[in-house]
Structure 1
Amino acid sequence: MKLISFFRVGSALGLALVSVMTHAAPLTLTHQDTHVTINPSDLSMRWGNLPINDANLKVGQQPQQVVDVRHPAPNQFNWRWEPANIEVSATLDDALTLSMSLDDNAQVARQHPVTLHWFDLPDQDTQTLLLPFSEGMRVPTDHSQWIDYLQASRDGSNTTQDLKMPFWTAQIGSQYVSYHLVTATNNRLGFGRANKKLDMGAAHTFTPLNRHDPFVVRVKPGQHPLDGAKWYRQWREDKHQAVSLAEKVQQNPETAKLIGATHVYLFGQGPLARDDVKDWWGLKHWALNTSSLPLDDETQAALEELSGKQSWFSQYHKNTLVNGINRALAETFPVTAPTEKDNTIKQQYQTAQQRKKWLAARAGQYLKPAEQWGQGLSTEMIDSLQKAGIRQLWLGLDNWMPAFYQPHVVEKAKQAGYLIGPYDSYNTAIPRGVNDSWLTAQLPDAMRDSCAIEQRNGNLKKGFRGNGFYLNPACDADYVAQRVADIIKYGQFNSLFIDVDATAMAREDYRRDTREVDMLAAFNQRMKSIVNRQAVVLGSEDGNSLTTQGIAFAHGLETIGFGWRDEDMKSNRSSPYYLGPWFPDNKPAFFFQSAKVKPLYQALLFDPQYRIPLYQAVFHDEVINSHHWHSDSLKFTNVRAERDLIAMLYNVPAMVHLSRDEATSPSQPRIRAIKHYQQGFMPIHQALWDKALVDFRWLDERGRVQQTQFSDGSTLTANFTDQPVGMSDITVPAKGLVAQLSDGTQVVWSVSE
């Protein structure tokens, strides 16, 4: 029999073919009319006649001997593997539960953990693999491109951050077999090719920190592709881990403002925008000759090119002047570095007001009134949104400084009925001078040093993009709580987006003997604490199932991250796939510039036949999810219809980025796009926000017409084709959706306006 195991290649996990001898007779567990057969020597398993695991048992690179087999009940067997000294229990009731634990004689060292290779997908019997990478991937196991993609991009994935929920489902014959990792931490998945089929393996690692924690997995067949998700949803409810949106609305009525809301990020951090200038020549003369502002050399050189009104004051020169003034104001009125006793948030607010007052007093004659200033966050922005008739919005800022310059605009947004909050983060801390515009990472030196995560090899874990260090979320919780409180107080926010905390980015920290499960608990505790203390509507990145406590919304799962190392996407400016640079600050091209998706990603990640609503089947009525902010709804031109229809079919909100120049009137394209999304999404979400997604079907052979059903009987039917599709009671427009709600209401929406 073939056996799949992991081996190290650098930091990734690969796949290899090996074989072992069978040393013990198969064991048969019985429960009512169900029989499961397990070979304890290699862990090959069958549920009746259905193969559910191929032979793959190894600990490290060693096969194991089976000793001390016990049979305390018809539905249970116990035994031990040697030389690894692992105790095993297999129990059958409505599911098969395997529990594996190191006994006291097992040897585990910091540099030599014990890795248990336990799972090998029955690849020759499996037709389809359902994986909760992002919302949900449906992978045909004989699809060569999918095999190559998973090998290249997903081999070595962990089951906390990478796998968004700790289960997967395999279609084996007519059954859908689901594997739920009750112990979701310290696991890795491997993907490879075996006889032209996709193969998958899984391994669990025992370390000095988690050696006393059993590894537990449950296995159960079902009849429907969503059965694994529903099974996991029920388990979360049984363990009291689920908190419904209805409960969150009851706890904080402001949460109801998320119902039907489109999610919008407003860009720009400085006090002054290009649209705030009345007299460009007067402002230029003042800035260069009378202001005493320390303009940088690049700004001075660009502006000195303009000799007088005979020269054209171009958009480039306008941007250069405004950005130069904003930078010079920050240098003229700096903020001191934060310390553990002073997070400087109050000082940042006071300094923002000082910069604004100073500029208005000295250059006001060249500018509009100061209360109208602002980049993304401005009175003009809120006016345009209201004039367009857009009622339900979550507005996000890339940090809190825009609100500190214009607190009255935050109040105006709240009076309009919107939620508004800044991006915040406590996961990376960087030294002063590395990137001072990265405001969230400006944490005290003592906190950066004392809270940095120590890895197994003794090194401190480098922070985001190699800057500073990643921090243990359990460390210095009082500082975090006070900074959050001050940001909300001075920004007057009713919402907050805390980055990373809900990604389930679990790591071991040997400085504090923190297990991965402890780190997950610390992230959850931090989010719950924010909600309990501040009464804001909280969101975070991804919303992975292990870290959802406290959050009402999340950004990330509806568009999976892809192509991180693709040079055409990252740096080839002549490529149609280039995502764009991260500047200018008030409108970064990375977020606003349209791009195409490469054919490989288009074929695999955005084709609706390879998508399945696993996450929504678990979380639709608990956490509202949307796209990652790197990829708003308008970013990719050649998959926009598919993304929009999938979002509507799953009943999740659109995300649109706005800068001030994109919102000077209700007729501008991005404002019109928000209005169009809301015309379809709002009435449907208002009916279904507290309902579970209970069914998903293809209504044709290729998955070009799909339907979701919710717990009240409402159905959403999406047509991904270019022609209308007639059904018994409805006609679904081309590239469109029909919602048949339980109260008899029908909503028809199509991608094109």
Structure 2
Amino acid sequence: MNLSSFYCSCVALSLTLFSLTPYAAPLTLTHQDTHVTINPSDLSMRWGNLPINDANLKVGQQPQQVVDIRHPAPNQFNWRWEPANIEVSATLDDALTLSMSLDENARVTRQHPVTLRWFDLPVEDTQTLLLPFSEGMRVPTDHSQWIDYLQASRDGANTTQDLKMPFWTAQIGRQYVSYHLVTATNNRLSFARKHDKLAMGAVHTFTPLNRHDPFVVRVKLGQHPLDGAKWYRHWRQEQHQATSLAQKVKQNPETAKLIGATHVYLFGRGPLARDDVKDWWGLKDWALNASSLAFDDETKAALGELSSEQGWFSQYHKNTLVNGINRALEETFPVTAPTEKDNTIKKQYQAAQQRKKWLAARAGQYLKPAEQWGQGLSTEMIDSLQKAGIRQLWLGLDNWMPAFYQPHVVEKAKQAGYLIGPYDSYNTAIPRGVNDSWLTAQLPDAMRTSCAIEQRDGNLKKGFRGNGFYLNPACDADYVAQRVSDIIKYGQFNSLFIDVDATAMAREDYRRDTREVDMLAAFNQRMKSIVNRQAVVLGSEDGNSLTTQGIAFAHGLETIGFGWRDEDMKSNRSSPYYLGPWFPDNKPAFFFQSAKVKPLYQALLFDPQYRIPLYQVVFHDEVINSHHWHSDSLKFTNVRAERDLIAMLYNVPAMVHLSRDEATSPSQPRIRAIKHYQQGFMPIHQALWDKALVDFRWLDERGRVQQTQFSDGSTLTANFTDQLVGMSDITVPGKGLVAQLSDGTQVVWSVSE
């Protein structure tokens, strides 16, 4: 061998030995004028001089060694972590893309998944976090209350259901660094306090079901707080995941009825309402002595003590009598439990008609005409809404039975130009006798057991509030499709609200080897199949970005659930923060009783300086979102102005709950509130429903005056103070909003009527 050949052989050997030796020096990726430095042993990263990830790489609890480094291009490095046997690729173009995959030698079992801690927020350098929990939270990282709140309520949050879109943005210096989880499943976030600042971490988990799926994350710099949301919106469009509202209107013209509509839930499911009774004493005597209806002992005792000699019939006794008759009618004309061959929807419709006919024939002299009956759905309610001049509404029923009792009222609502649909769900199945009034969960026993999700520990996943089981959405799809079809057929609905499907409630199901990403796909497929087979406008809960296929509207993101474990809110009836009990059925206090928001939640969740329209940047012209039905626009008295103005600023609809007694005339407070919302929201939304939200800014230092801008140049300016705010071209009233639309129209709206 000559000297030259010997030298080349030695160099090759040394490079081979070097690549198999643990490595700790930083690697620099270059793309045009951009340089990103990564330390592969701890995954600390800098974009130029800007820190974008702190050093804290762990697989399980174990640090890793770096071997087999490759540098196929100036903008790419590949390597492997050992002993975890994870292959890593880092590529820089317009964004930094990291891809991490288990190789075939990696060991992962049901009881021992592989957890990869890959992200730690650069705590000392980060000023603000923008998090899509709900519409969007703006969190100063040195704010002690925010640190405590996130640590107590969001530590361990997942990035499918909890994080409403799989990205977050950190303000680091003058830059906004956005982290997009292309692999949105099997991730958890952590929040903690570190040196009196907010620390945030992220962990990805490889399981036996997803072990062959790479974990991919992208990082990009921006100059504006909304840049991360705009980047994600563009990515969704590139991936063909976005379907605009304009396209949905073209596919189903009924969708246009959502434009400018306030969203209203109607409560009360029985055939008879208190307002349907003409003769209380005659009805009471007939019911107890001549009706053959079977009343429970409590009802008989309460009504038996009454005598016409007293001369008055209390509200309590009126409710007792009406509710007792409604329950007894259900027992007189029962419906059998559903089976896989018979979902009993037709039988429920027939039973509703029988109950109504039987009662009218035997007790009609004590009641108004049967066509006027109804608790949450009645001719009187639709008449009052129309007389008030309310033209655009989505009407939601808490189940389909009111429509089965009064099908002519559904037709009347549709003729008025309204969308109307029931709440439905296929997420939880419960056994007969647990809560038979929860109709959506009344699914066949065979389906409840065979479709139940099997967890990693082998147990079946308990259903909502611990009842029954949660179901795999891919299971028994034909049964679901037929029941949905029958509900729409017998209810004659033009809309449907299917609970949970759009919450991105992803889980692994070891019974069927279902990955989290497979479950998301099954939810999307179910929603798409409904709109493809049925001529209904579909909505669902939350509208999380991973599960929006098929839906035109969603409820949940503008006011999220909070304080679930707060005893004052849950059970302390003497507290001003008590939300109320879940009864009576025709008007549950939980939905109608006013309450105050505790100072902590008021300060963090409803102060406009901590809100940012991340979701609307992505979805304004795709999915119409509103509040969660637990918290309609009128629920909280001490944050109503802030909630209303934020909704108007983001151009999203109000939500108002109605019961029969709240809708007997156009002058009643809740109908006046709907009309007031319509006067501001409808003309603005009719101009902007198909436009993108492209800019958001503060017009003062504290965020008390804020402005949004849309893709046609229209601007909405909200004033959260009590004083008039004058600007060069407009004056915004206290607690008010001014819309300057691109066609020159100006709309002025104030919170107070």
Shorter-chain TM-score range: over 0.9
8 A Cα contact 1:299 1:320, kept in partner: yes
Q: Distance in 2 between matches of 1:365 and 1:118?
A: 73
Change (3 A) 1:169 1:85: same
Uncovered stretches (5+) of structure 2, i.e. residues with no partner: none
Matches within 5 A, 1:700-739: 700-739=700-739
Change (3 A) 1:315 1:635: same
8 A Cα contact 1:375 1:660, kept in partner: yes
Q: Distance in 2 between matches of 1:404 and 1:40?
A: 64
Q: Secondary structure at the match of 2:539?
A: strand
Cα displacement string for residues 219-240 of structure 1 (whole angstroms, at most 9, x for unaligned residues): 0010000000000000000000
Q: Distance in 2 between matches of 1:13 and 1:55?
A: 31
Change (3 A) 1:17 1:694: farther
Change (3 A) 1:254 1:8: farther
8 A Cα contact 2:22 2:66, kept in partner: no
Change (3 A) 1:330 1:3: farther
Cα displacement string for residues 533-585 of structure 1 (whole angstroms, at most 9, x for unaligned residues): 00200000000000000000000000011000000000000000000000000
8 A Cα contact 1:7 1:13, kept in partner: no
Change (3 A) 1:415 1:15: farther
8 A Cα contact 1:129 1:138, kept in partner: yes
8 A Cα contact 1:527 1:549, kept in partner: yes
Change (3 A) 1:61 1:652: same
Cα displacement string for residues 356-399 of structure 1 (whole angstroms, at most 9, x for unaligned residues): 00000000000000000001100000000000000000000000
Q: Distance in 1 between matches of 2:92 and 2:21?
A: 26
Matches within 5 A, 1:404-553: 404-553=404-553
Shift of 1:311: 3.9
Q: Distance in 2 between matches of 1:420 and 1:468?
A: 29
Q: Distance in 2 between matches of 1:8 and 1:728?
A: 75
Q: Secondary structure at the match of 1:124?
A: helix
Q: Distance in 2 between matches of 1:22 and 1:234?
A: 39
- Residue number in structure 2 paired with 1:577: 577
Cα displacement string for residues 91-117 of structure 1 (whole angstroms, at most 9, x for unaligned residues): 000000000000000000110000000
Cα displacement string for residues 2-41 of structure 1 (whole angstroms, at most 9, x for unaligned residues): 9999999999999999999994110000000000000000
8 A Cα contact 1:281 1:309, kept in partner: no
Q: Distance in 1 between matches of 2:214 and 2:278?
A: 69
Cα displacement string for residues 683-721 of structure 1 (whole angstroms, at most 9, x for unaligned residues): 000000000000000000000000000000000000000
Q: Distance in 2 between matches of 1:379 and 1:482?
A: 30
Q: Distance in 2 between matches of 1:156 and 1:471?
A: 23
Shift of 1:588: 0.2
Change (3 A) 1:230 1:7: farther
Change (3 A) 1:677 1:4: farther
Q: Distance in 1 between matches of 2:240 and 2:81?
A: 34
Q: Secondary structure at the match of 1:99?
A: strand
Change (3 A) 1:652 1:494: same
- Residue number in structure 2 paired with 1:173: 173
Change (3 A) 1:70 1:603: same
Q: Secondary structure at the match of 2:17?
A: strand
- Residue number in structure 1 paired with 2:108: 108
Shift of 1:56: 1.2
Cα displacement string for residues 425-452 of structure 1 (whole angstroms, at most 9, x for unaligned residues): 0000000001000100000000001000
Shift of 1:287: 0.3
| Most deviating of 23-32 and 175-184 | 23-32
8 A Cα contact 2:385 2:666, kept in partner: yes
- Residue number in structure 1 paired with 2:186: 186
Q: Secondary structure at the match of 1:743?
A: coil
8 A Cα contact 1:662 1:670, kept in partner: yes
Shift of 1:666: 0.3
Change (3 A) 1:276 1:203: same
Q: Is the aligned partner of 1:271 residue 2:268?
A: no
Q: Distance in 1 between matches of 2:12 and 2:662?
A: 43
Q: Secondary structure at the match of 2:437?
A: coil
Shift of 1:484: 0.1
Cα displacement string for residues 299-332 of structure 1 (whole angstroms, at most 9, x for unaligned residues): 1111111122424201111000000000000011
Change (3 A) 1:563 1:300: same
Q: Secondary structure at the match of 2:338?
A: coil
Change (3 A) 1:5 1:504: farther
Q: Secondary structure at the match of 1:199?
A: strand
8 A Cα contact 2:608 2:646, kept in partner: yes
Percent identity for Structure 1 against Structure 2: 92
Q: Distance in 2 between matches of 1:599 and 1:258?
A: 35
Q: Secondary structure at the match of 1:204?
A: strand
Q: Distance in 1 between matches of 2:729 and 2:21?
A: 60
Shift of 1:455: 0.0
8 A Cα contact 1:13 1:155, kept in partner: no
Q: Secondary structure at the match of 1:158?
A: coil
Change (3 A) 1:446 1:9: farther
8 A Cα contact 1:2 1:19, kept in partner: no
Q: Secondary structure at the match of 1:584?
A: coil
8 A Cα contact 1:5 1:15, kept in partner: no
Change (3 A) 1:33 1:209: same
Larger-Rg structure: 2
Cα displacement string for residues 256-309 of structure 1 (whole angstroms, at most 9, x for unaligned residues): 000000000000000000000000000000001000100111111111111224
Cα displacement string for residues 471-509 of structure 1 (whole angstroms, at most 9, x for unaligned residues): 000000000000000000000000000000000000000
8 A Cα contact 1:23 1:41, kept in partner: yes
Q: Distance in 2 between matches of 1:664 and 1:9?
A: 94
Cα displacement string for residues 178-199 of structure 1 (whole angstroms, at most 9, x for unaligned residues): 0000000000000001111001
8 A Cα contact 2:22 2:67, kept in partner: no
Change (3 A) 1:559 1:572: same
Uncovered stretches (5+) of structure 1, i.e. residues with no partner: none
Q: Distance in 2 between matches of 1:15 and 1:169?
A: 40
Shift of 1:81: 0.1
Q: Distance in 1 between matches of 2:299 and 2:427?
A: 34
8 A Cα contact 2:501 2:523, kept in partner: yes
Cα displacement string for residues 131-175 of structure 1 (whole angstroms, at most 9, x for unaligned residues): 000000000000000000000000000000000000000000000
Change (3 A) 1:332 1:9: farther
How many residue pairs get aligned? The number is 753
Change (3 A) 1:712 1:614: same
Q: Distance in 2 between matches of 1:698 and 1:434?
A: 51
Change (3 A) 1:628 1:251: same
Change (3 A) 1:11 1:140: farther
| Most deviating of 3-12 and 718-727 | 3-12
8 A Cα contact 1:191 1:198, kept in partner: yes
| Most deviating of 6-15 and 220-229 | 6-15
Q: Distance in 2 between matches of 1:703 and 1:140?
A: 14
Change (3 A) 1:98 1:439: same
8 A Cα contact 2:19 2:67, kept in partner: no
Q: Distance in 1 between matches of 2:468 and 2:543?
A: 25
- Residue number in structure 2 paired with 1:251: 251
Q: Distance in 1 between matches of 2:48 and 2:157?
A: 31
Change (3 A) 1:460 1:265: same
Q: Secondary structure at the match of 1:621?
A: coil
Change (3 A) 1:7 1:392: farther
TM-score normalised by the chain length of structure 1: 0.97
8 A Cα contact 2:181 2:216, kept in partner: yes
TM-score normalised by the chain length of structure 2: 0.97
Change (3 A) 1:484 1:3: farther
Change (3 A) 1:119 1:337: same
Cα RMSD between the aligned structures?
7.2
Shift of 1:518: 0.1
Q: Secondary structure at the match of 1:4?
A: helix
